[in-house]
Structure 1
């Protein structure tokens, strides 16, 4: 008991001591110095970007602090987007949309009919898969790309990019959703599926309407 009391007293003496207080002051001074350097760097950067800007005491304080906070948030957001896009590209390079010979031999009309049947049953996950395969085989039929079981969506995107950059970008967007729903853990809602379907049907609807006209 006496040893505990003595240890407590010794600790209090250390905390009151000059060396400890100097250490605290040095730590606070280091952070303040670092923060001032950051503000000075941002002020110089803004001065270079906007030569007409006249720094003031208020600007160097509150306004500059807000700018640094906003910049930091944007930087973190950019890093998040880059990491997420990197993971998405990796997924596109790994997964193959056509899993079996049977899926390859189906016409895009059959995949489209299957997608519509599953949609009526509220099975939007499987319906998304067939809707995407319908689009993929439509592009194959139109010779915009060559569908193969061993190919990934990234390879299809690369092929389509050589034909039409805008179409490739739209396909890339749909391929990301397809991969997230088919291979990931994403649960697609009815509204999300309808939007996915409408984007895919921008290509398919013209051909479907042409087929209907030919039947008349």
Structure 2
């Protein structure tokens, strides 16, 4: 019996020894170690924000930590996806030129707007959307907030507009993305999308009549 107790004690010492612990850690996968460190970090952060969690049992805190980690990882994944998609679209956006012919450049802002209205009445929402965007672009040109040229890309117009009003530049960016999709991506616009797009353009034209309000604020 004495020998058995001695053997148990020896085994316990071995398991608690540094050599065995080092071996045990090395046998774990990298993902397992990262997972444990992530849980430990989150636990520390939660304890700082919610001291009551510190006294919670491990069995109760474990599921909470796992849930939080899953939510955080999902949010990071979604954010990464949106950033990558934005960069891809932005790269295409830099290369595209809105005016495809000199005739489109020679038209006035009002001519493009009238053409958009005519196409809308025929249910040609995709083409109408294109003329709405060109109308807005030429309106800015006529008011000298940017300089329209047939060789310029939407990115260059965005950069010029950004110097006048950064908020306007961001709005232009979003409108130009859809314009590029229908012009170069051969996307077809549905009626409800067109109505929303037209509403944004009309609201902006109405606002732009007063000029780039508080422009210095955005410089």
TM bracket (short chain): 0.7 to 0.9
Give 1:186 deviation, angstroms: 3.0
Q: Is the 8 A contact 1:39 1:60 kept in 2?
A: no
Task: State the partner residue of 2:8.
Answer: none
Cα 1:44–1:101 shift into 2, 3 Å? same
Give 1:198 deviation, angstroms: 1.1
Task: State the partner residue of 1:155.
Answer: 156
Give 1:180 deviation, angstroms: 1.5
Matched, 1:38 2:38: yes
Task: State the partner residue of 1:179.
Answer: 180
Task: State the partner residue of 1:102.
Answer: 103
> Greater CA deviation, 106-115 or 53-62?
53-62
> Greater CA deviation, 67-76 or 198-207?
198-207
Cα 1:33–1:134 shift into 2, 3 Å? closer
Partner Cα separation in structure 2 for residue 143 and residue 196 of structure 1: 24
Q: Is the 8 A contact 2:53 2:61 kept in 1?
A: no
**Structure 1: 5+ residue stretches without partners:** 1-25, 209-216
Partner Cα separation in structure 2 for residue 73 and residue 135 of structure 1: 39
Task: State the partner residue of 1:135.
Answer: 136
Partner Cα separation in structure 1 for residue 127 and residue 121 of structure 2: 12
Aligned pair count reads: 183
Task: State the partner residue of 2:114.
Answer: 113
Partner Cα separation in structure 2 for residue 178 and residue 47 of structure 1: 49
Encode CA deviations 1:118-164: one digit per residue, 9 max, x unaligned.
Answer: 11111111111111000000000000100001111111111111111
Q: Is the 8 A contact 1:181 1:188 kept in 2?
A: yes
> Greater CA deviation, 178-187 or 37-46?
37-46
Give 1:36 deviation, angstroms: 3.0
Partner Cα separation in structure 1 for residue 35 and residue 144 of structure 2: 60
TM-score, normalised relative to structure 1: 0.75
Partner Cα separation in structure 2 for residue 141 and residue 132 of structure 1: 14
